[in-house]
Every structure is written in C-alpha cells, then in structure tokens.
Structure 1
Amino acid sequence: MQEKSLIIWHLTDNKRGHQNQSLGLVNAIKELTPSESYLIDITDLRLIDLITKRFPAGEKLPLPDLLVGAGRKSQLGLLVAKRCFGGATVCLMKPSWPTALFDLCVIPHHDRPNHSKKIFHTIGVLNNLNPVDVTSSPMGIILIGGPSKHYNWDSGEFLTQISNIVCSNQQISWCITDSPRTPSDLTIKLKHHTQLKAFYRPFRTTEDNWLQEYLPRCREIWVSEDSVSMIYEALSTDAEVGLISVPKRRETRVTKISEDLIASELVMSPNSANRPKKIQLNEAKRAASFLVNDWMKNHV
C-alpha cells in the first residue's frame, strides 16, 4: 500500500528571507517522508479574518497536516488557516503572539526562547542551502548588511576592511553584494572603486534565488557582523567564514553572537590570521528530522 503523502501548507509573506527559512524546512521534510506542499500568499490577510473564520486561499486545497510559516505576518496566517481548516502549526520564529497558540515554534537560540515542549531550539535561523564541496572553488563572496538597532555604521572603515580582505586573497575571484540596509554612500563608493579587484553586484540586480545558488559554491565567505541570518547561512556551507567588524551601539544578545563565534574559532575576523573550524550547520535537516521522526507521531 502506498504511503499517504503529508500535506503541507507553506504560508508566505513574499519576503525573501522568510520564504527561504520555511522552504528550507519544507524541502527537508520532503527528503524524509512523502509530502505535497502548497505555497499560499497571506499578505492580504487581516485580523478580522481570524475573528470571522475566513481563509479563502485554502478552499480548493487538500486539508493540511502541517502549516508552516516564517515572519510576523505568517503568524496570523497560521492561526487563521488552522482555525478554518485544521492542521498542526509550525512557526519559524519567536512569535509575538503567545507561544501556546501554536503547536510548535522553531526558534533560534540567540532569541533566548523558553524551554518548552512547544519549542524546538536551533542554532541560527533555518535556510534552504544545499552545500557542496568547495575545496577547489576559486569563488569568494562578501555580504554587506547595514546599520540596525544593534549596530552603527562607518562606511569608510568598512570599505578599508573589504579592501584588505580582497587584497590579501587575490587568488580568489571575489563578488560583493549588499542588502536593503546598506547605506547609499557605501554603495556609491563600491560602484566607483576602480582599484578594488572584485565584482560588485547590488542586491537589486539579482534574481530571487541567486544568492542561494551562489553561496554554497564559495570557498570563502565574509559577512558584516550585523547580518545574523546571513552569518548562519554562511556557516551552513562548506566555506571558511569570516566576520567584518561593525561598530556596536551597545552590548546586546545580538552583538554577543559574533563575539561568541569568534571566541569559539568558528569564524575568522579581519584582525586574525587563524583559519576557522568548519562545522557546516544543517538546522533545517535537524528540525525536519525531529518533526518527522518524533514530534509528528503525537501531533499529526
């Protein structure tokens, strides 16, 4: 008898980072058990839909076994979809709603989640990367974030660090890419920096899956330390990973992440010549294994 497929509703707010997290889990589940997934846009969902029990996007779909979503908007989607059609909810973040409203929350340890049967702790956020052996790869990439509530910014100092990284590793073919938070004065300097032997590719010129395909092929990856999710994506590849220093506004649980990684010698810093230890995280696979082999026996 053919095993019944697991029906997964993958809720999306159409934000690239959030979709990458949930897609990582969905694909990892598919590798472990027969599954069908349905991508559902919940960007137009409103609180009134929870009250009135309205979720038209699911009316023509098979009833869900699992509801998966990442991002603040997806939390509402999970609750509305479950109320209308059932299924077990899996929230891929520390929710702003009470945790008790969800069947399971997959939360990075740096968000300091409570210990609960409803919470699965991860090392960083999930991702959808497929790592490959990069021992002989000539490629390297520099990922730039920007100022945040945890970090200030100094574009001149940052550019100096980038120049030093590129100049000290000229055997690598470097690509530099930025993000929506990257200050315009730095992007202008990168566009007109003729002495920097690297290809600058602004994020606005990239396709949706470009970074997910490019990153695993790099032998060396440098990330500005403000970009927590990108740090953990880099650590999920076979590359050696380095962190580019960014001035802190103050000491917080987020700024401590880079300090702990450097102290553990899992990443390089611009001031150190030591090569990092390789760990190659695969938290999507670990979370999926827990779901399929343990948690779902009592919830699906």
Structure 2
Amino acid sequence: MHIVYVSDGKAGHRSQAVGLYKAMQRQSADEVSFEEVLIDQLPIFSLFSGILKKSIAALKQPPDYIFGVGSHTQLRVLLLGHAYPEAKTIILMKPNFPVTWFDYAIIPEHDGVAASEQVIVTKGALNPIINEGRHQANRILIALGGSSKRHQWNEAKVLVAIQQIVNRHPLAEIILTTSRRTPKEFLAHLNEKSFKSQLKIFPVEQTPQGWIFEEMQKAEAVWVTEDSVSMIFEALTAGCRVGIIEIDRLKSDRITQLLDQLLTQALLGENKVKLLNLKMDEATRVSDILLKK
C-alpha cells in the first residue's frame, strides 16, 4: 500500500498526515509506504497533462491513497485522483470544494460538519502520537503558547497559573517550555519569581525536534495555554491528564466554543482543579474505518 501526501510544507499539516499514515502502518497487514510531494513539485498544468497520461512524473509509484491538508493542496489532491482513479482521495480538513468530490474528508467536530459516508468527524486534528505507557508519577509538563488570531497573551494570568501549579505540587518535578509565539521577555519576568526555583525551564530554542512529544510520554499531567489547541489534543492522545491555562480572547468562534466545553470539564470551583482525563486515539480510529472500507 502506497500513500502519497501532497504537502504545503507546514509542520502542523504534516503532523496530521503522518499521524494517519503511521496508524495505517500499524493496523494494515500489508507493507505501507509514504511519499511526501511538495505542491511546488505538482504544477497544475502538469497534473492536467498527467490525467491524460494516467501518470504523474513527480510520483515514485502509483498511490493507493492520496492525502492532503491545507487549502493549497485540495485541487492537487483532486487532480491526482483523476490521474489515478483507483486511489482514494482523503482531505484532512473541512474542504473548500464539495465534500463529495473527495473519497473521504477527515474533519474536526468543531468545524460543524455532520458525519456521513464520506465525512469522518474527529475530536481535534489527527497527530502521530500514541500512548507509550511511560508516564512518571509527580512529573508535570507546562507548555506555553502565545498570542494568536483568537487569543491575546496575558502574562499576569499565566504567571498566576504557574504559581498555583507549583504550590499544589511541592514534590513534583515540573518542566516548563515555551513556544515561538511566547513573548521573548516572559522568561526574564518568570526568573524574577520566587517559585522559579521549583521549575526546570527549557526554552523552545533549546529543544530539539520531537522533544515535547517525548516529554508528553513521560509526564503524568500536562498544562497548556488555551491558544495551543493542537497541543491539548496531542497531550490527551499521549495519555496525559491535561489542564488548560486560560488567557485573554480576542473573538469567539468554533474553536473557543470547543475550549469552553473542555474548560467546563477541566475546572471545578475557584481553587479545586479537575484535569481532563480523556482516552483519545483518533488516528487509529480513523485508520480502522478507512482500512475496513
């Protein structure tokens, strides 16, 4: 079985495609191969030409599945599907084109599309993480994001939340990491706080690729700022209990409504905190559905 992934080069999109590929690799009785092709390698004109030839020069071998994530990949996935009519076209998002133009669309439930024969609805975006069962008691990871199109960083709120986590867990090993969106001055301000001595701090610039996924495998609980929705679902998929650190919102939409649902489950009273503890393995579930079909 050969999977071709039409890539726009974005790491978050690639994570979704790789998550589904790895799940299919785990579950399939056949050998599963994966080929990533950048959209720049697939000019539209060459794809129309390839439809007539029933072959695309940029591909190493004919695909059985064609994945796409991101708006700029959708037309290319459709055209590749016409060049290779035996292949299944799978778009991992709410598509701009009619859903019926693809064989399957994998769509997070917050996008508000109903499940159907061609639509598989998921809790959050897919990712390549599995629960490896290596979680260590009293090990906590704090993962900080920053401002986004729907959130505004609030340093005061974040510092209060970190102090509360430290105070609640005096014997825990607490690892804190930032993201590229975390304001540069934040760590300097954190270093001025007395509770900083109880933290092990790893700025994102000092962490190698895959570091945070490994930390999720070791952490018993993970606290994430609410702007980092994908990380919330990654931590849940890793099998961690997950807490959400609230920051300011710039607007309300389906994503913030999803966060409100999660916060309703996560927060109990003013000082008592209940962590999310959801069993989640969406990539495996979706893979099982596709392989059975």
**Same fold at TM > 0.5:** yes
Q: Which amino acid aligns with 1:17?
A: G
Question: Which residue pairs with 1:70 in the alignment?
Answer: 69
Distance change (3 Å), C-alpha of 1:141 and 1:79: same
Whether the 8 Å contact between 2:114 and 2:121 is mirrored in structure 1 is: no
| Cα drift, residue 50 of structure 1 | 4.2
| Cα drift, residue 270 of structure 1 | 9.3
Distance change (3 Å), C-alpha of 1:99 and 1:258: same
Question: Which residue pairs with 1:182 in the alignment?
Answer: 182
Asked if 1:105 is matched to 2:101, the reply is: no
Whether the 8 Å contact between 1:50 and 1:79 is mirrored in structure 2 is: no
Whether the 8 Å contact between 1:11 and 1:67 is mirrored in structure 2 is: yes
Asked if 1:250 is matched to 2:251, the reply is: yes
CA RMSD of aligned residues (A): 2.6
Question: Which residue pairs with 1:282 in the alignment?
Answer: 281
SS of 1:140's partner is strand
Whether the 8 Å contact between 1:243 and 1:269 is mirrored in structure 2 is: no
Question: Which residue pairs with 2:17 in the alignment?
Answer: 22
Q: Distance in 1 between matches of 2:267 and 2:116?
A: 34
TM superposition score normalised by structure 1: 0.84
Q: Distance in 2 between matches of 1:268 and 1:216?
A: 24
TM superposition score normalised by structure 2: 0.86
Larger displacement relative to structure 2 (128-137 or 100-109): 128-137
Q: Distance in 2 between matches of 1:284 and 1:119?
A: 14
| Cα drift, residue 277 of structure 1 | 5.4
Q: Which amino acid aligns with 1:73?
A: H
Mapping for residues 128-167 of structure 1, pairs under 5 Å: 128-133=128-133, 136-167=136-167
Question: Which residue pairs with 2:242 in the alignment?
Answer: 241
Whether the 8 Å contact between 1:161 and 1:270 is mirrored in structure 2 is: no
Asked if 1:95 is matched to 2:95, the reply is: yes
Size of the aligned set, in residue pairs, is 285
Whether the 8 Å contact between 2:106 and 2:119 is mirrored in structure 1 is: yes
| Cα drift, residue 102 of structure 1 | 1.7
Q: Distance in 1 between matches of 2:49 and 2:182?
A: 41
Aligned with 1:31 (options 26, 29, 39): 26
Question: Which residue pairs with 1:291 in the alignment?
Answer: 290
Distance change (3 Å), C-alpha of 1:269 and 1:62: farther
| Cα drift, residue 178 of structure 1 | 2.2
Whether the 8 Å contact between 2:136 and 2:218 is mirrored in structure 1 is: no
Give percent identity, aligned residues only: 28
Whether the 8 Å contact between 1:42 and 1:74 is mirrored in structure 2 is: no
Q: Which amino acid aligns with 1:259?
A: D
Structure 2, unaligned stretches of length 5 or more? none
Q: Which amino acid aligns with 2:165?
A: I
Distance change (3 Å), C-alpha of 1:173 and 1:80: farther
Whether the 8 Å contact between 1:132 and 1:216 is mirrored in structure 2 is: yes
| Cα drift, residue 278 of structure 1 | 2.3
| Cα drift, residue 201 of structure 1 | 2.0
Larger displacement relative to structure 2 (112-121 or 213-222): 112-121
Question: Which residue pairs with 1:226 in the alignment?
Answer: 227
